[in-house]
Amino acid sequence: MTIEWRYTAHQELGVLSLAGYLGAEATGRFTGAVGWAVARGTGPVILDLTGLRGWSADGQRAVAEAARRLAAHGRPMELAAVPAEAPPVPGAAGPAVPVHGDLPAALSAHRRGEGAGRQWHTDDWPGSLTPPA
């Protein structure tokens, strides 16, 4: 089982949304999605976990590594809608990662509505009717 992802670039903010299960077999795809976010946006990256059905310890470690990677590029990471069964484990050596109850709360913290900027996503992103731009 793997994940699907969608990245939305807002002005000075990015939202990386995940759907599926973030386990060991999905960490490579997740790492690639983070690379996509690094290359195509500016400012903080909100990792939207609304569509995530769960995550393993490997998935949580991949999120912690993503926070370090983004911070190295001057882009702090924030979490929105963390799966209830497992609290985030950012790692003691990693940057602080703010956690928001849901995506609207995270966007509100940056005074942004949910209006989408440019988007890219995997082919099987839930609800996608057209191929990504």
pLDDT, tens digit, 9 for 90 and up, residues 92-127: 567 888 999 999 999 988 875 545 566 667 778 777
| Terminal C-alpha separation, the chain | 25
Q: CB-hemisphere CA count at 13 Å for 117?
A: 15
Give 95 or 46, the one with higher predicted confidence. 46
- For the chain, which domains are there? 3-121 (3.30.750.24)
d(CA 23, CA 34): 16
Q: Is 94 helix (H, G, I), strand (E, B) or coil?
A: coil
Overall average pLDDT of the 35-56 stretch: 92
Task: Out of 33-37, 56-60, 70-74, 92-96, pick the least confident.
Answer: 92-96
